């Protein structure tokens, strides 16, 4: 198996490449439009064919490169069931693994940040990992105040689903804003300030209600674009036109 963690600095987004060494076929989880050429170059350097792009959820802070990559590689676009991504080639749901060669990703339904969010469990050679998207972050979690977010649902997703995994399962988040790359289920259960065992559901709801986070800068562009697999809408918000220029979109 081949595994790579890739970083996009503007939105502090992690993209994950998972590939089968035998068949040389790959999946990209949460690819970002600005870094599509980096990902194409990596696929070429590793001698891989892109089988599919796979989203954890419809993102509000960056544009996916799913459509761009499909135009270049003829890969499939896979999106969570219920996300409303009509341009996807297939929907993904808990209970049905996503396979590439001999490698299988097991979707876990982890709503709360959005109402359709999935995490992906990967069994590696001697290790297990879970790509948690924006559900569980290192020492934190995703916000719950838009896109069908629900703090009670997020609490259940983390405490009942993710924290039910083996403690040495590696946690690879969708974002980190402090340069951290990986945690573990045991570490997050013990020390995550929002979600450790000393925090109950009521306290978690109070924590989330008190965050008072700013409106996502790219949300008015990113959400409609990502519902269209990364295609910019006709009415691009002022100041974001560069994200939709032809040299990026193709």
pLDDT tens digits along 72-98: 999 999 999 999 999 999 999 999 999
125-162 CB burial, b ≥16 within 10 A, e <16: eeebbbbbbbbbbbbbbbbbeebbbbbebbbebbbebb
User: Which one, of 17, 225, 57, lies nearest residue 146 by Cα?
Assistant: 57
Tell me the pTM: 0.96
How do the domains of the chain map onto residue ranges?
2-233
Q: Are 4 and 42 in contact (CB under 8 A)?
A: yes
Band of residue 250 on the pLDDT scale cut at 50, 70, 90:
very low
| 127-138 residue pLDDT tens | 999 999 999 999
Mean local confidence (pLDDT), 38-61: 98
CATH node for 2-233: 3.60.15.10
Residues counted in the chain: 250
């Amino acid at each position: 198996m081949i595994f790579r963690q890739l970083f996009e600095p503007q939105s502090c987004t992690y993209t994950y490449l998972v590939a089968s060494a035998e068949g040389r076929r790959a999946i990209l989880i949460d690819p970002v439009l600005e870094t599509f050429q980096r990902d194409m170059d990596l696929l070429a350097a590793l001698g891989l064919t892109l089988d599919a792009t796979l989203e954890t959820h419809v993102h509000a802070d960056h544009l996916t490169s799913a459509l761009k990559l499909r135009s270049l590689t003829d890969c499939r676009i896979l999106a969570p069931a219920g996300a409303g991504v009509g341009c996807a080639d297939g929907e993904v749901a808990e209970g049905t693994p996503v396979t590439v060669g001999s490698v299988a990703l097991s979707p876990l339904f982890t709503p709360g940040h959005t109402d359709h969010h999935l995490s992906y469990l990967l069994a590696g050679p001697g290790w297990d990992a879970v790509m948690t998207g924006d559900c569980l972050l290192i020492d934190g979690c995703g916000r719950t105040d838009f896109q069908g977010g629900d703090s009670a649902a997020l609490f259940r997703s983390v405490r009942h689903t993710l924290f039910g995994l083996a403690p040495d399962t590696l946690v690879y988040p969708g974002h980190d804003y402090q340069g951290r790359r990986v945690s573990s289920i045991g570490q997050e259960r013990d020390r995550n300030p929002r979600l450790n065992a000393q925090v109950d559901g009521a306290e978690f709801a109070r924590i989330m209600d008190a965050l008072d986070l700013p409106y996502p800068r790219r949300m008015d562009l990113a959400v409609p674009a990502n519902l269209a697999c990364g295609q910019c809408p006709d009415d691009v918000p002022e100041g974001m036109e560069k994200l939709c220029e032809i040299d990026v979109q193709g």
